[in-house]
């Protein structure tokens, strides 16, 4: 059972650990390898694999974190996909 504090900013988990909500903006670089007939087709499908995790993935991450003793819970993840650029040959 969670305890709600006056302004809704602080909570305690079932172990009585005081928790607050934090939001982070993370710069993320992804390299997506696609096999296709041409680059334009490959470029169009890249965003389909870069979506935010769903409820099941977030729940699994939270279960793994709890199993390692981390008293933190991911509540939501949003992604914004910028431009899709080809990687130069030989780069990783």
Contact 17, 71 (CB under 8 A): yes
- For residue 18, the SS3 value is strand
Contacts of residue 16, defined as CB under 8 A and 6 or more positions apart, other chains included, come to none
Predicted confidence at residue 4, as pLDDT, reads 39
pLDDT of residue 91: 66
Beta bridge partners of 18: 12
Q: Which residue has the higher pLDDT, 68 or 9?
A: 68
The pLDDT tens digits of the residues spanning 12-39 come to: 666 666 778 889 888 888 899 999 999 9
What does the alpha-carbon distance between residue 41 and residue 37 come to, in Å, rounded to a whole number?
Answer: 7
Tell me the whole-structure pTM to 2 decimals.
0.60
Residue 8 to residue 27: CA distance in whole angstroms:
28
pLDDT at 83 over 60: yes
């Amino acid at each position: 059972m969670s305890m709600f504090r006056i302004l809704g900013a602080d909570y305690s988990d079932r172990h009585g650990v005081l928790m607050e909500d934090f939001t982070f903006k993370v710069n993320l670089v992804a390299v997506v390898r696609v096999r296709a007939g041409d680059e334009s087709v490959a470029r169009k499908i890249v965003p389909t694999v870069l979506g935010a995790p769903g409820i099941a993935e977030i729940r699994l991450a939270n279960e793994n974190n709890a199993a390692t003793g981390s008293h933190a819970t991911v509540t939501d993840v949003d992604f914004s996909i910028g431009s899709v650029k080809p990687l130069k040959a030989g780069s990783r």
